[in-house]
Amino acid sequence: MEPPPAGSAELQAQLLHCPAPPTHPHPPPRPPAQAVCELLSIAGAELEKSAKGKPRLEAAFRQLDRMSNATRSYPARIRFVIKDVLELRAQHWVARREVFTVSALHPCVAGRRRRRRAQRPARIEG
Q: pTM of the prediction?
A: 0.54
Euclidean distance between CA atoms 101 and 37, whole angstroms: 19
Euclidean distance between CA atoms 30 and 24, whole angstroms: 15
CA distances from 11 to 41, 52, 113 (A): 14, 13, 45
Residue 26 CA, chain-centre distance (Å), reads 23
pLDDT (0 to 100) of residue 82: 92
pLDDT (0 to 100) of residue 125: 65
Q: Where are the domains of the chain?
A: 9-119
Contact 55, 16 (CB under 8 A): no
Positions of the chain with pLDDT lower than 50, given as ranges: none
